[in-house]
Amino acid sequence: MTTPLSPGAAAPRPAPPRAARSRRSWTGWGFLGPFVAVFALVFLAPIGYSLYLSLFRDRLIGGNTFVGLDNYRQALGDERFWAALGRISLFLAVQVPVMLGIALLVALALDSGRLYGRDFFRVSIFLPYAVPAVVATLMWGFMYGTRFGLVGDVNDALGVSLPDPLSPGLVLASIGNIVTWEFVGYNMLIFYAALRVVPHSLYEAAQIDGAGQLRVITAIKLPAIRGALVIATIFSVIGSFQLFNEPSILQPLAPNAVTTDYTPNFYTYSLSFNGQQHNYSATVAIVMGLITMAIAYVVQLRGMRKGG
Amino acid sequence: MAPPAVTASGPSAAVPSGRPRSAPRLRAPRRRHSADRPRRSVLLTLLTSLVLLYSLVPLVWLAFSATKTQEGLSRSFGLWFDGDFALWDNIGRTFTYDDGVFTRWLLNTVLYVGLGAGGATFLAVLGGYALAKFDFPGRRAVFAVVIGAVAVPGTALAVPTFLMFSRMGLTNTPWAVIVPSLVSPFGLYLMWVFATEAVPAELMEAARIDGAGEVRTFFTVALPLLAPGIVTVLLFTMVATWNNYFLPLVMLKDPDWYPLTLGLGSWNAQAATAGGEAVFNLVVTGSLLTIVPLIAAFLLLQKYWRSGLAAGSVKE
């Protein structure tokens, strides 16, 4: 919860006790060392290694040669990469607002105290978060199926023919639905936790001033949870840019609709493991990482500025 | 929360959101205010129920489908039983199909979760404690680098990590999955915030005066106080490793080392390959068996993840 933790965020800077300062230096490292060692091995080293890889290229003649920024030049002119990035941007622009919107509405409903069975709602809507992406995708993939899925059942029962969710035109929306299903509850919980610590005296003051529910939401609740909204948006953006599991599991079920360069991450994977183009794959991953970080940064900056 | 609760939860009551003691205390003032709170609304409950249905229907579908034979899956309505109740038969076949490879995947998953999530939690607890309670050169730099790393798309690292590990001869071994799981920046952050509030410096000082060494102080004084935070971090690293798909997909070639997620994916893909046997009823049953332990853990440990998730996500 926010209030309990806000001192936590500020405290560590002045915190270290005077007595500990005398033994400044090695004790702390003894505890932190193991984490840092593994962190260096699985975070820093791969980043360094992929930077190195991105500057080389395997050639038939001459073997592994230094090519400078050639790989980057190739990536920036790579239509398949841009197509994947465009697809994911469209996904991001639609799925993230829908998901966060639903999560926010449910969180506001829970927080309003007007629901019957609030705890049941909270736990049940969060439950999909515990389902692995693989299982979620398999489940939805089957349900989408016109053969033995729910879509087929509805078609039979009502005598209609719904469009196939796994057709090329709809598969992106279908993936969006799976991701939304997985993470609505998670985001709802983040918003709800932030709402819970808004001081009630504010609501009472608003009530005395004659403010309606809607006004309380727009004037008090939403500004109060801005931090949570920004964080949830950043996490969702990062998550969307990394999209891989859902399209890759759906591929056997929808081979015509999902290509191996469907998302940037899928493309990197295919380059490396089907095409053996490790150097180029590392380059695309770096470009993608930079774009993700830039967008996360912009979201944070905008969120904070509005807050200022 | 009502004002009295907020003032009460100053530094001393800061962390105990996970401690049972605080639950009634936080709830009591709430009830007092319910008088001037709006009445419960049937309409709002119904509207929210739409989202509830959306969340639960797929799980219900999965539970019903696990009771059906392969033919039953296609001929019966998804949200009800088919004529033959084949759940036990499905479970039996899931565990015996392909020489019981599912059991092997289950044990692999337990191994990866046990060592990966357990190790990640242990490292995060040690590191968080160090960041919270000690001053040492490079402390701020370490923290900045680790928090910055959270923004690096994890999957962007998978390919270079694979290439690096294959040079080191680690790919296609359990270590390739376990070692990268050992680092949880989120867990470190959570433990840092948690330890700052939960372990009073006076207690550590008292232990030192009594002649306890740093290691002993950590294990006897700090560790018990950190327990609620440890459970939270453990739960979330467990979910992350149990659900991991991309990392093992990249690292492992040999199906004998697959975790459940990868195995289920391969059973599903099998139907699409030439001459592959379609075993959708086993994919469905296996999926149900895969999620049952996690859902049970989440339901049983509710009070921990609620406060833990709130702590990390709101303040990060």
Domain A78-307 matching CATH 1.10.3720.10: the answer reads yes
N- to C-terminal Cα distance for chain B? 21
Q: What is the pLDDT, as a whole number, of residue B22?
A: 38
Q: A28 and B136: CB-CB below 8 Å?
A: yes
What is the 3 state secondary structure string of chain B? CCHHHHHHCCCCCCCHHHCCCHHHHHHHHHHHHHHHCCCCCHHHHHHHHHHHHHHHHHHHHHHHHCCCCHHHHHHCCCCCCCCCCCHHHHHHHHHHHHHHHHHHHHHHHHHHHHHHHHHHHHHHHHHHHHHHHCCCCCHHHHHHHHHHHHCCCHHHHHHHHHHHHHHCCCCCCHHHHHHHHCCCHHHHHHHHHHHHHHCCHHHHHHHHHCCCCHHHHHHHHHHHHHHHHHHHHHHHHHHHHHCCCHHHHHHCCCHHHCCHHHHHHHHHHHCCCCCCCCCHHHHHHHHHHHHHHHHHHHHHCHHHHHHHHHHHHHHC
pLDDT at B6 over 60: no
Provide mean pLDDT across the span B15-31. Answer: 41
pLDDT per position as a tens digit, A258-279:
888 899 889 988 888 887 788 8
Nearest CB to B307 within list A1, A147, A288: A1
CA dihedral B190, B196, B199, B202 (to 10 degrees): 170
**Alpha-carbon gap: A201 to the closest alpha carbon of chain B (Å):** 7
Nearest CB to A49 within list B164, B246, B272: B164
Q: Angle at Cα B61 formed by Cα B282 and Cα A159, nearest 5°?
A: 110
Q: What is the pLDDT, as a whole number, of residue B310?
A: 57
Chain B residue with CA closest to A135: the answer is B287
Q: B40 and A227: CB-CB below 8 Å?
A: no
Q: List chain A domain ranges.
A: 32-68, 78-307
Domains delineated in chain B: 100-315 (1.10.3720.10)
B154: confidence class by pLDDT, cuts 50, 70, 90: low
User: Cα–Cα distance between B184 and A38 in angstroms, integer?
Assistant: 10
Chain B residue with CA closest to A212: the answer is B38
Chain B residues with CB under 8 Å of A19 CB are: 201, 205, 208
Q: What is the pLDDT, as a whole number, of residue B315?
A: 41
Cβ-based contacts under 8 A for chains A and B: 365
User: At residue B77, what are phi and psi to the nearest 5 degrees?
Assistant: -70, 140
Q: A25 and B136: CB-CB below 8 Å?
A: yes
Would you say the pTM of this structure is higher than 0.80? yes
Bridge partners of A58, per DSSP, are A64
A163: confidence class by pLDDT, cuts 50, 70, 90: confident
pLDDT at B127 over 80: yes
Q: Does A52 touch chain B (CB under 8 A)?
A: no
Q: A32 and B126: CB-CB below 8 Å?
A: yes
Nearest CB to A249 within list B41, B265, B294: B265
Q: What is the mean pLDDT of chain B?
A: 80
The better pLDDT of the pair B108, A4 is held by B108
Q: What is the pLDDT, as a whole number, of residue B125?
A: 94
Q: Coil, helix or strand for A144?
A: helix
Nearest CB to A252 within list B145, B271, B298: B271
pLDDT per position as a tens digit, B206-216:
888 888 888 88
Shortest CA distance to B192 belongs to which of B136, B123, B113, B118?
B123
The better pLDDT of the pair B33, A283 is held by A283
Q: What is the pLDDT, as a whole number, of residue B139?
A: 86
Shortest CA distance to A143 belongs to which of A288, A253, A26?
A253
The better pLDDT of the pair A277, A63 is held by A277
Q: A12 and B196: CB-CB below 8 Å?
A: yes
Q: A124 and B146: CB-CB below 8 Å?
A: no
Provide mean pLDDT across the span B302-308. Answer: 68
Q: What is the pLDDT, as a whole number, of residue B97?
A: 87
Q: What is the pLDDT, as a whole number, of residue B30?
A: 46
**Tokens representing residue A159 in the block:** 């005598």
Nearest CB to B155 within list A143, A244, A251: A244
Q: What type of residue sits at position B37?
A: R
Percentage with pLDDT > 70 across chain B:
80
Place of tokens 């056997």: A252
Q: What is the mean pLDDT of chain A?
A: 83
Which are the contacts of B83, defined by CB distance < 8 A and separation ≥ 6? Answer: B72, B76
Q: Does A257 touch chain B (CB under 8 A)?
A: no
Q: A21 and B14: CB-CB below 8 Å?
A: no
pLDDT at A130 over 90: no
**Alpha-carbon gap: B305 to the closest alpha carbon of chain A (Å):** 10
pLDDT per position as a tens digit, B218-256:
998 888 888 878 888 888 888 889 888 988 998 999 999
Shortest CA distance to A280 belongs to which of A62, A75, A85, A82?
A75
The better pLDDT of the pair A70, A146 is held by A70
